[in-house]
Chain A
Amino acid sequence: MSDLATLTIDVNGFPTRVWRTGSGPRLGFLAGFGGLPRCVPFIDELAKHRTVIVPSLPGFPGGDRGHTVLDTHLDWVLAVHEIMVKADLIGADLAGSSVGGSLAAEIAAIWPDAVRRLALIAPFGLFEESDPPTDPWAQRADAVPGLMCADPAIWTALKTAPEGANSIEWPIEQVRASEAAARIFWPLGNTKLEKRLGLIAAPTLLLWGEQDRIMPRSYADRFAKQIKGRSETRLIPGAGHLAELDQPKAVADAILAWTA
């Protein structure tokens, strides 16, 4: 991508990466489990029509070790809000996937004016005992790609060190991303987000990969039922948990249409 600008903001003393690309009205994206160690086609698709702003979350790739000072859920949502402010995302449309989707929902619930329209891709945050999410942290390493994406090769490619990357620091950064997610969501993924869904006034699009092997599809109904604002649910064929990686165009088109 030619015009991808990388900015650095300070979050609790940790340098935090913000990508900015494209033109048009602002649209933020908070990435999912594993974060974004490199840019992905989904961002390009969005940037064809919008100014896309992608801040890293603490501890995720580009987020340094920012997770290490966040002990409570309040710490997390305040840090993400600070990121939204510093990344110029207040009042913009906001999309979030997986763990990032959960935090996007928190922002929309607690600071209703911060989010114009919301799009959530299989967000974390709920737990139903009769239909639990898959535990992403109790897996053999070779099982993870197939849990995250319908096409495991896409996850593997995202997570494989590029030519010239530091062969020691790169794998540590990927473990750190998983740790950061664990720090917020261990052990069940349940942050009691359910209690705050009724505060979400922004019109909300719920996207779910048809082959999501992490987050049960029934959770889409739970979100839809409890979100105060208007909501709509759409399934993405040929996509797994991180639907935006499997089907970048279909997911981007759905979000662009929702936030148009």
Chain B
Amino acid sequence: MKLMWFHLMPYTELPDDFRDANPSVWVDIHSSLFDPKRAHLMYNDFMDELEYAAQCGFDAICVNEHHSNGYGLMPSPNLIAASLARRTTDTAICVMGNSLALYNPPTRVAEEFAMIDCISGGRLIAGFPVGTPMDTCYAYGQNPSQLRQRYLEAHDLVVRAWQEQDTFAFNGRFNQQRYVNIWPRPVQRPHPPIWVPGGGSVETWRWCAEMDYVYCYLSYYGYKAGRATMDGFWNEMSRLGKDRNPYHAGFLQFVGVGESRQHAYDLYAEAAEYFYGRCLHVDPRWAAPPGYTSEGSQRAGIESQIKQAADAGVRGTTAGERFASVAREMDAIVDKGYVIVGTPDEVAEQLREVAVNLNVGHLMLLLQFGNMSKQLAKYNTKLFAEQVIPKMRDLFSEWNDRWWPRPMETAQRAEIPAFMPPLAAE
């Protein structure tokens, strides 16, 4: 199976009283909390951590897109990915991803992803999220009633721009462009693998099945809460007559590895409570722009509420209800499965169970979270790489991962000189 290292790039110095003194970590978080000189250090730490994860042998390093967000400092994950492309050699670079409807014209995504694919020699995984309500409708002012249609149309434009040999006119409902002809073109043909992070909507499952894209459930609430969604995905896949290739799916999980379970618990409690306490402090008024959730999903949500209690661990069908019910103390965080802590053996055993139960071949690990220091993030990363990954590698070896990047042969690729800062003048 594939073990991928994911960074959200949280601002690590939100004040202790953040929850009480501020309405939200997202959309209207106050600029006075942001110190650019501290952020300089954070960005560089975060990029060190991503590069370190690549050195340690993770299959991929992952970045994502958020806007006006105190726990996600990557409005443009492509900038980080471009840098990672130069500072890593064989690791896949997973941009998870670009919210297609936010780019005008969406051709921009085709271009930038093609650039990253060229610079990295074909190591890009192209993630296409719709984007959260906070990012898309509020921070970026997109119309929630048109967002999904615009997303789907932008997808068609990007995928065509990657493949069409000749300059073409795109005559869309929302986008018209007379001359589409991107330079550069992606290394991977016909195009980089496309992965779709989504919530639990039936429409997204069907679309991933139809297009043969990887469906990723990037929840912060762990494997217990994620079970219902992944079951829903696989049930829909079975209904559509698709096989259960675990590489058709991705799942996000927070993990903290230590020498004993208690050691791990103690090591990661502060960072976990920082993340769930401060980073997920989102004002519910940002959570439900009308039209963002399709009527089909609303219907399914209301029906499931009537038939059964919501997911274990997190209650509610809207992001607002979920944010309001998040566990914020370490005992509950661990108990509900948001963060898996333990020795390498314990973690490996649990993660194997998670991968098998959820039938997920691409596990995205959050090994840096909250205000975790670089030192602790590297410790967690190293221990995981050395002692957990070997115990998981064999899983799903009977399946073919046809959604993984196909980079250029090593011999064909550019030699990247080691970075040598000029010596200070004597």
Question: Measuring CB to CB, which residues of chain A are less than 8 angstroms from any residue of chain B?
Answer: 67-68, 71, 137-141, 143, 167-168, 171-172, 175-176, 178-183, 186-187
B146 contacts partner chain A, Cβ-Cβ < 8 Å: yes
A-B contact pairs, 14 of them (CB 8 A): A137-B144, A138-B286, A168-B299, A172-B295, A172-B298, A175-B298, A178-B290, A179-B144, A182-B143, A182-B145, A183-B145, A186-B141, A186-B289, A187-B141
Contact, CB under 8 Å: A140 / B145: no
Give the residue among A67, A143, A178 with the most B Cβ atoms within 10 A. A178
- Number of B residues with CB within 8 Å of any CB on chain A: 23
Residue of A nearest to B286 (CB): A138
Name, among A141, A143, A167, the residue most crowded by chain B CB atoms within 10 Å (CB to CB): A141
User: Are A138 and B138 interface neighbours, CB within 8 A?
Assistant: yes
Contacts of A179 in B (CB 8 A): 144-145, 290-291
Assuming the contacts A138-B138, A175-B290, A187-B141, asked whether A71 and B146 have C-beta atoms less than 8 A apart, the reply is yes
Is the CB of B302 closer than 8 A to any CB of chain A? yes
Partner of A138, one of B285, B298, B299, B302: B285
- With contacts A168-B299, A171-B302, A172-B299 taken as known, whether A137 is within 8 angstroms of B145 at the C-beta atoms is no
- Measured between beta carbons, the chain B residues less than 8 angstroms from A171 are 298, 302
For window 287-315 of chain B, which residues contact chain A by CB distance below 8 Å? 288-291, 295, 298-299, 302-303, 306
CB–CB A67/B145 < 8 A = yes
**Interchain residue pairs A-B with the least CB separation, the first 10:** A179-B291, A183-B145, A178-B290, A179-B290, A187-B141, A186-B143, A138-B285, A179-B145, A168-B302, A140-B285
B298 with A139: CB separation less than 8 A:
no
Residues of B within 8 A of A182 (CB): 143-145, 289-291
B168 within 8 A of A: no
Closest-CB distance, B28 to chain A (whole angstroms): 9
B residues apposed to A, CB below 8 Å:
137-138, 141, 143-146, 173-174, 284-286, 288-291, 295, 298-299, 302-303, 306, 320
Residues from chain B with Cβ under 8 Å of A167 in the complex: 302, 306
Residues of A within 8 A of B146 (CB): 71, 183
Task: Contact check, B285 vs A139: say whether CB atoms are below 8 A apart.
Answer: yes
Chain A neighbourhood of B295, CB < 8 A? 172, 175-176
CA distance A181 to B289 in the complex (A): 11
User: In whole angstroms, what is the CA distance A180 to B295 when docked?
Assistant: 13
CA distance A143 to B284 in the complex (A): 11
Q: Say yes or no: A186 contacts B285, CB within 8 Å.
A: no
When distances are taken between beta carbons in the complex, the residues of chain A under 8 Å from B302 are: 167-168, 171-172
A140–B303 CA distance with the chains assembled, in angstroms: 22
- Minimum C-beta distance from B134 to chain A (A): 10
Q: Nearest chain-A residue to B291 (Cβ)?
A: A179
Contacts of B289 in A (CB 8 A): 137-138, 182, 186
Minimum C-beta distance from B298 to chain A (A):
5
Chain B minimum-CB-distance residue to A187: B141
Candidates A141, A172, A186; contact of B145 at CB < 8 Å: A186
Residues of B near A172 (CB, < 8 A) are 295, 298-299, 302
A183 touches B285 (CB 8 A): no
CA distance in complex: A137, B232 (Å): 30
Across the two chains, which residue of chain B brings its CB closest to A186? Answer: B143
Q: Which residues of A contact B303 (CB under 8 A)?
A: 168
Residues of B within 8 A of A67 (CB): 145
Measured CA separation A37–B144 after assembly (Å)? 22
State the Cβ distance, B16 to closest chain A Cβ, in Å: 25
CB neighbours (8 Å) of A139 from chain B are 285
Find out whether the CB atom of B290 lies under 8 angstroms from the CB atom of A137.
Answer: yes
What residues of B have a CB within 8 angstroms of the CB of A140 in the complex? 284-285, 320
- Complex: chain B residue closest to A168, CB-CB: B302
Residue of B nearest to A173 (CB): B295
Question: Which residues of B have CB within 8 Å of A180?
Answer: 145
Nearest-CB residue, chain B, relative to A188: B141
